[in-house]
Amino acid sequence: MPPILSIEPRFPERLRALGLNGEGVRVMVAVSGGLDSVALLHLMRFAAGEPGMDVVAAHCDHAMRAHSGEDARWVAGLCRAWGVPLWTRRAHAELRGEAEARAWRYGALREMMREAGATHLATAHHADDQAETVLFRVLRGAGIDGLAGIAERAAGGLVRPLLPYWRAEVRDHVRRAGLRWREDPTNRTAAYARNRIRRLLPVLERDAAPGARRSLARLAEVARAEGAAWNAVLAPLEGEAARWEDGALLVVRSALAGYDSALAARLLRRLLAPFGGAPGLRGTRAALQFITAAPSGRTLQLPGGVRIRTEFGVARIERAGGGQGGAGQDTPVRVASERGEGTAAVGGAELRVRWWTAEWGAEAAEAGSATVALLAEGLRTPLLVRGWRPGDRLGTAGGTRKLKKLLGERRVPRGARARLPVLADADGRALWASAVGQDPSTLPRPGAAALLISIGDG
């Protein structure tokens, strides 16, 4: 391991690289009370060297273990001592497992960001977290996108200032500054996969692959570069190989057949994403073989109610008609331009859809039975206005929940659910649902660019 260098003199340049300098920047630091988050808050508060940057803190109490409230009180005392405003949230519903806790935590953090008027949310992920994440995904057989690991920036102003630094460097800063922190007892249990991976890496470095951590971090960099290259190649091909018509995606069969098989498979996965995700490796190969070789008039049913039908020179991809979702008439909303309009058919009813961009906080709203305002930064397009589908989940302040349950809680009759529009992104993630509301993580912040979508009767 190379000599440990102090983070502090390098940190201001790191913040400038993330765009966290200048007037009007307010960063909310997620602080659990553990060593990493305490180090990040200390660096942001005392070593940033950016007079225009304002720092606030947020603490989430998952209420998943006894005495978790003591961490919240300790963090509150730390923030008082350092002169940092603090926002807190405690989970009131039972959280089951890491995934549910993470979903609740990020929902709560986004809600506190809006309350605090924060422009960015900073978490304390570092280079060891990156290596552990990549190793975990390697063992699960992830592709290029998964191997890219943790991004230093993400949608909604999420930033990770410590990502280039190793755990040893973070600990060194804590030692130099004489900081105290809280130990989370769950870090010592083997019940969580992240703890088992953390214990596996030192064994690999000792017995099989010295420098494995740095190799895994480099793998993430390579995967991110490969992913960016793929996106640059696929974006123009998508327009050449497919078009939307009457709520269905028409794929030119000869175009797909003319591409290299790996390129065609990746393009097909990209095309299938707006329908709620793409099949796995075998499913993608089967769908590609069907589209390029099946005679006209044949039908292939994919999981999740997606149907592919060959029609001479094209393959029609659409949601199967009927069922609870009633989404056979999905209509994509393309947001490449700043303004546009179209018509969606949901549950037999036509809905006029208009969209435009504006700076949030200006005179942005227009008339309509529903106007959804989304933070434009980081949106996965094209968006779809469609009917709800079994399996849809929506982010809430209390975490991600099944849309079916949310509709039931609001006493929406089953017969009426097929007529309720849902707005989803290109990955199939629900962003807003009629009669329920909007994922709070997608709400725009004052002064930011917003995409506004009006959904009304045709």
34-59 pLDDT per residue, tens:
999 999 999 999 988 777 789 999 99
Which residues are CB-contacts of 371 (< 8 A; sequence separation ≥ 6)?
Answer: 365, 452, 453, 454, 455
CB 101 within 8 A of CB 64: yes
Q: In terms of pLDDT, which residue wins out, 301 or 322?
A: 301
Q: In terms of pLDDT, which residue wins out, 325 or 139?
A: 139
Beta-bridge mates of residue 53: 25
Beta-bridge mates of residue 61: 90
The pLDDT of residue 182: 92
Residue 22: count other Cβ atoms within 10 Å of its Cβ: 11
The pLDDT of residue 167: 94
CA 456 – CA 355 distance, rounded (Å): 12
CA 169 – CA 185 distance, rounded (Å): 22
301-315, 316-330, 386-400, 410-424: the lowest-pLDDT one: 316-330
H-run or E-run covering 301: strand 299-302
Q: Is the pLDDT of residue 330 over 90?
A: no
CA 278 – CA 427 distance, rounded (Å): 9
331-362 pLDDT per residue, tens:
556 665 667 777 777 766 777 888 888 877 64
251-265, 366-380, 430-444: the lowest-pLDDT one: 366-380
The pLDDT of residue 288: 95
Sign of CA dihedral 35, 37, 39, 41: negative
Looking only at the bridges linking them, the beta strands covering 331-333 and 393-396 are unpaired
Q: In terms of pLDDT, which residue wins out, 457 or 328?
A: 457
User: In 3D, which of 281, 283, 294, 280 has the Cα closest to residue 251?
Assistant: 294
User: In 3D, which of 178, 148, 175, 182 has the Cα closest to residue 163?
Assistant: 148
285-297 pLDDT per residue, tens:
999 999 999 999 9
The pLDDT of residue 339: 75
Share the mean pLDDT of the chain: 84
The pLDDT of residue 324: 39
Residue 422 in tokens: 């849902």
198-236 pLDDT per residue, tens:
888 889 989 988 999 999 999 999 999 998 898 889 888
3-class state of residue 90 by DSSP: strand
User: In 3D, which of 40, 38, 154 has the Cα closest to residue 106?
Assistant: 154
CA 420 – CA 418 distance, rounded (Å): 6
The predicted model gives 101-116 an average pLDDT of: 87
Residue 279: count other Cβ atoms within 10 Å of its Cβ: 17
3-class state of residue 450 by DSSP: strand
The predicted model gives 231-254 an average pLDDT of: 87
Looking only at the bridges linking them, the beta strands covering 120-122 and 158-159 are parallel
User: Domain extents for the chain?
Assistant: 8-219, 246-319, 331-457
DSSP per-residue letters across 159-194:
E-TTTTS-HHHHHHHHHHHT------GGGG-TTSHH
CATH class for domain 8-219?
alpha beta
Q: Is the pLDDT of residue 366 over 50?
A: no
In 65-76, which positions are buried (b, 16+ CB within 10 angstroms) versus exposed (e)? eeebeebbebbb
Q: Is the pLDDT of residue 168 over 60?
A: yes
Residue 122 in tokens: 């900073």
The predicted model gives 385-396 an average pLDDT of: 83
The predicted model gives 144-148 an average pLDDT of: 88
- CA distances to 107, 312, 379, 424, 435 from 442, rounded to whole Å, are 10, 41, 9, 11, 17
CA 101 – CA 86 distance, rounded (Å): 21
The pLDDT of residue 337: 60
- Please measure the distance between the N-terminal and C-terminal CA atoms of the chain and give it in whole angstroms: 65
212-226, 310-324, 393-407: the lowest-pLDDT one: 310-324
The pLDDT of residue 218: 96
Q: In terms of pLDDT, which residue wins out, 360 or 27?
A: 27
Place of tokens 């009759």: 413
Percentage of the chain exceeding pLDDT 90: 39
CA 413 – CA 407 distance, rounded (Å): 8
User: In 3D, which of 289, 306, 192 has the Cα closest to residue 249?
Assistant: 306
The pLDDT of residue 382: 77
Q: Is the pTM value of this prediction over 0.75? A: no
Beta-bridge mates of residue 372: 453
CATH of domain 246-319: 3.30.465.60
User: For the chain, what is the radius of gyration of the CA atoms?
Assistant: 24
Can you give the length of the chain in residues? 458
CA 455 – CA 345 distance, rounded (Å): 11
pLDDT band, residue 256 (cuts 50/70/90): very high
